[in-house]
Amino acid sequence: MARLKGLRPLRLWTSSDLALVTTEKDLDPASRRSLPASVHYTGVVQHPIPSTLTPVSERDPLILVSLSSLNFDGQQRALRNIVEAVGGMPAHTVVTTGPSVDPATFSAGPNTEVHGYVPHDQILPTATLVIGHGGHDTTMRALAHDLPLVILPIHPALDQKMIGRSLEQRGVARCLRKTAAPERIRSAVGELLVAGPHRVTAATLGARIRAHDGAVHAADLIDHLPIRE
């Protein structure tokens, strides 16, 4: 994206006094490389989270489906495959299509709600699984609520596939193609809806994310920057 604007990203990042990366360091493959001293991982910038979370094992099965708020190529097809996949599964499903996809165009089963918009803060504390596209914000919010994920990266030029693969390697997600058939999606959902090590890993990552607000750490780092004359 920087190159499209005529900028040279590596030159910008290496010449800056401070480069803030607002994610969990261990989840970023780039953190394993040699990075400039100016790069600091702040942790995830938090959204409101309940002071006490009910363990996922004690929640009724509830799936939140949320792909991009934009309408990338193949997104509607992916949503339709997801809606078909969750039909008849032993879980209630809430699908949020975003402003670019009309929820009225979907035919859903009795256990599935399809909405243009529902605040995720109302659903995540009681959810047991998130199906998403690997967008950083929704993914980190899911993890902050101790939730495993099924990820279908939608846009090949963004960080969605990297995020999905990184979490799959940690054992907390399944990363599928956006063209995955309903049967493949249903299989991945079935694996993650039940108890297993993926829930333990999600809870461990969730506790770490909740322990540090990246916004506070970032502000502290900025506040301590030396003033240039």
pLDDT digits (tens, 9 = 90+) for 7-55: 888 888 778 899 999 999 999 998 988 888 899 999 999 998 998 999 9
**Confidence tier at 117 by pLDDT (50, 70, 90):** very high
Q: What is the spatial distance between Cα 196 and Cα 136, in angstroms, rounded to a whole number?
A: 24
The yes/no answer on whether domain 56-210 falls in CATH 1.10.8.50 is: no
Find, among 18, 27, 21, the residue nearest to 202 by Cα: 27
**Confidence tier at 71 by pLDDT (50, 70, 90):** confident
| Predicted TM-score of the model (pTM) | 0.91
Pick the residue with more confidence: 144 or 32?
Answer: 144
pLDDT in the model for residue 159: 92
Q: Please, where in the chain does CATH 3.40.50.2000 lie? A: 56-210
As a whole number of Å, the end-to-end CA separation of the chain is 32
Pick the residue with more confidence: 227 or 47?
Answer: 47
**Confidence tier at 109 by pLDDT (50, 70, 90):** confident
How many residues does the structure list for the chain?
A: 229
State both tokens at 116.
Answer: 């243009």
Q: What is the spatial distance between Cα 124 and Cα 146, in angstroms, rounded to a whole number?
A: 9
Q: Are 147 and 128 in contact (CB under 8 A)?
A: yes
57 by Cβ neighbours in 10 Å (0-12 / 13-18 / 19+) ranks as exposed
Instruction: Using alpha carbons only, give the angle 198, 46, 140 rounded to the nearest 5 degrees.
Output: 30
Reduce the DSSP state of residue 93 to 3 states and report it: strand
* Residue 108, CA distances (Å) to 8, 9, 105, 162 in order: 46, 44, 10, 31
Find, among 161, 111, 115, the residue nearest to 139 by Cα: 161
State both tokens at 197.
Answer: 């090590």
Q: What is the spatial distance between Cα 77 and Cα 60, in angstroms, rounded to a whole number?
A: 28
Q: What mean pLDDT comes out for the span 195-224?
A: 96
Helices and strands of the chain, counted as H and E runs:
7, 8
